[in-house]
Amino acid sequence: MSASPEAQFAPGALAARIDAVIDAAVAESRIVGAVVLVAKDGAIAYARAAGHADREAGIPTSQDTIFRLASVTKPMVAATALAFVDDGIIGVNDPVTRFLPGFRPKLADGSTPVITIRHLLTHTSGLIYGYDAAAGICEGLAGPSLSMAENLTRIAAQPLAFAPGSAFRYSVAIDVLGGLLERAAGASLPELVAAKVTRPLGLEDTEFYPSKVDRLAAAYGDGADGAVRMDDPHTIGNPESSVTFSPSRAFDRAVFASGGAGMVGSAPDFLRFLEAVRQGGSPILSPKSVALLSENAIGAFDTGVAGRGFSLGWSIHHHPEASGAPFSPGTWQWGGVYGHSWFVDPARALSVVSFSNTALAGVGGAYPDAIRDAVYG
């Protein structure tokens, strides 16, 4: 019999379960530094920092350590876009060409389909991650130092993988959305995200270019005998499936601000963002926009996980029993490849943020699954 909700989230029992997961991962050097926060019913139920923000310098992780966010950026850019929908500046069904008239990628047959803002937000546009290196595209983590305009031109020159609206594939779509927002609102993406999300919520550590360098964690990657400090660039994986990182990109103001992967921030900031959305959206979003973030918008398209769809900002576990996840139906979840995972279970008024400085162990596999399972007991 499962524990009652009261016993399940009792502070002592919850802490014992999560502490055991973190302690093992740090002791085994699978994770170098970690911050885990749990909010239940709007109050902090668990908060811990462990390990090192910079192992070689002996700097311990603190709860306000700043991390390279990678795809944790996407939810905040999606929220920025929906704030402009609330303002009537853009519409989710607007064609991308309304704001980016030159962005007209073609299908393999040479035809030019309509891509909408909704397609971008739901990753159903036909764009992809993993373009051939010869295309010279920057996908937000590493690669050539390009302006927004040049990167969009290079993306548009590549054929779409499928007709917009016919399938799901995680992609550079939010980088394209960033360029669209800049054109629609007449300001840079960092200025827009600050105006619509980070400043109204008081997220002082979350930005596109780190201004508090002394609190920025070093970046680590999986190694055969434990995590290793990243080189620059640093590739994890094999030629068939790999991810290349450039930790210094966070400081490169000559490269475009990546809406898909470009921000830095702290775990408390991101928890505050999630809780604001979970509790109705104020002061950044309307209830209508929160509904767009809370409902599966892609039907039965394959996302790679059974029972998981996608809203206009993140994945939605509409049938979590299909994958064996302990989530309630309707749980939101995603992560960031530098080492982060998070989820919000609205039915249980539960928000969990797990940040680390270790890729890929912090974003997928044993560690984030064990954190999730420890939360649910």
Domain assignment of residue 292, yes or no: yes
- Return the pLDDT at 90: 98
- Judgement on whether residues 298 and 369 belong to the same structural domain of the protein: yes
- Judgement on whether residues 256 and 299 belong to the same structural domain of the protein: yes
Given 160, 194, 228, the domain boundary residue is 194
- Judgement on whether residues 173 and 286 belong to the same structural domain of the protein: no
CB contact at 8 A, 159 and 137: no
- Judgement on whether residues 64 and 156 belong to the same structural domain of the protein: no
- Judgement on whether residues 51 and 84 belong to the same structural domain of the protein: no
- Return the pLDDT at 241: 83
Domain assignment of residue 200, yes or no: no
Domain assignment of residue 201, yes or no: no
Given 194, 228, 252, the domain boundary residue is 194
Residues of the chain with pLDDT under 70: 1-6
Instruction: Enter the pTM of the model.
Output: 0.97
User: How many domains does the chain contain in total?
Assistant: 2
- Judgement on whether residues 187 and 244 belong to the same structural domain of the protein: no
Domain assignment of residue 204, yes or no: no
- Judgement on whether residues 335 and 235 belong to the same structural domain of the protein: yes
Q: What is the CATH number of the domain that holds 142?
A: 3.40.710.10
Task: Give residue-wise pLDDT tens across range 316-327.
Answer: 999 999 999 999
Catalytic residue among 4, 71, 286, 289: 71
- Return the pLDDT at 368: 98
Domain assignment of residue 203, yes or no: no
2 in active site:
no
- Judgement on whether residues 178 and 245 belong to the same structural domain of the protein: no
Which domain covers residue 137, as residue numbers? 78-194
- Judgement on whether residues 322 and 216 belong to the same structural domain of the protein: yes
CB contact at 8 A, 197 and 256: no
- Return the pLDDT at 11: 80
- Return the pLDDT at 1: 38
Domain assignment of residue 202, yes or no: no
- Judgement on whether residues 118 and 222 belong to the same structural domain of the protein: no
Task: Give residue-wise pLDDT tens across range 100-132.
Answer: 999 999 999 999 999 999 999 999 999 999 999
Domain assignment of residue 105, yes or no: yes
- Judgement on whether residues 89 and 159 belong to the same structural domain of the protein: yes
Domain assignment of residue 312, yes or no: yes
- Judgement on whether residues 245 and 133 belong to the same structural domain of the protein: no
Given 194, 227, 247, the domain boundary residue is 194
